A and B are shown apart, each in its own frame.
Chain A
């Protein structure tokens, strides 16, 4: 069973999912603790059942962690802002290998949500 009932299916492209430059809509997000994630992982590792709700809870926590990483990145970028400097789009800054991996991750996420 997929996780679409538990996870909102709003991010469809690597650009949105990984908050590529420029993104002016990213709000600071809460950072889940390692203890919380470890507990969720342990519960899944110990379970022989395939509980979509528990899988979704772990994925949600890891996605909050992801968003927290990128909100830190934007907080740093805000300190560099100037009227003379513009930040090129991530697609131009990132090597192809990185862009390819971003696409693969989004594809796997889609598969998990199916």
Chain B
């Protein structure tokens, strides 16, 4: 069954002539390639969850680092999610089976980073008084 999340302007392939399906498929593959060739993956992770936040100064320093780490993560997840949806659309357009297409927007490394950021935010929230 097709996922309702799509990047296609026309929702059903029955609305798209056969010849244009291949053209759009090529555009999707090109976009997927552009995203994957620019994957950064290993941005420096600045958050230091071991540090105590005993002053407002320390809380703001920690917040700034979380902000940059989270922005990198958000950008990475946005692009990789988009790429996965495009891949699903590509398989759909070409009439390939979607049963083996799995969308996993958060891999284990990203989940681990999210947890660290979430814990650090809890410390910042506590330090600023809830």
Contacts and interface: CB of A to CB of B under 8 A. Distances in A.
B78 A93 contact: yes
A108 B78 contact: no
B29 to A, nearest CB: 11
A55 B60 contact: yes
Contact of B75 (A37, A69, A80, A95): A69
A45 interface: yes
A88 B75 contact: no
A76 B34 contact: yes
Contacts of A66: 67-68, 71
Contact of A92 (B5, B24, B58, B114): B5
Contacts of A97: 106, 111, 114, 118
A50 B56 contact: yes
Given A37-B64, A41-B61, A104 B31 contact: no
Contact of A73 (B8, B9, B79): B79
A97 B65 CA distance: 19
Contact of A63 (B30, B58, B67): B67
Interface in A72-96: 72-73, 76-77, 79-80, 82-88, 90, 92-95
Contacts of B92: none
A94 B74 contact: yes
B66 to A, nearest CB: 7
Given A76-B34, A93-B81, A18 B61 contact: no
Contacts of B66: 105
B67 to A, nearest CB: 5
Interface string B70-87: 111111011101100110
B46 to A, nearest CB: 9
B35 A84 contact: no
15 contacts: A18-B74, A44-B57, A58-B64, A59-B64, A62-B64, A62-B68, A65-B67, A80-B30, A87-B7, A88-B7, A95-B106, A97-B114, A98-B77, A105-B121, A111-B128
Given A44-B60, A97-B111, 13 more contacts: A45-B57, A50-B55, A58-B64, A66-B67, A69-B71, A70-B71, A73-B75, A76-B34, A77-B79, A85-B8, A95-B105, A98-B114, A105-B121
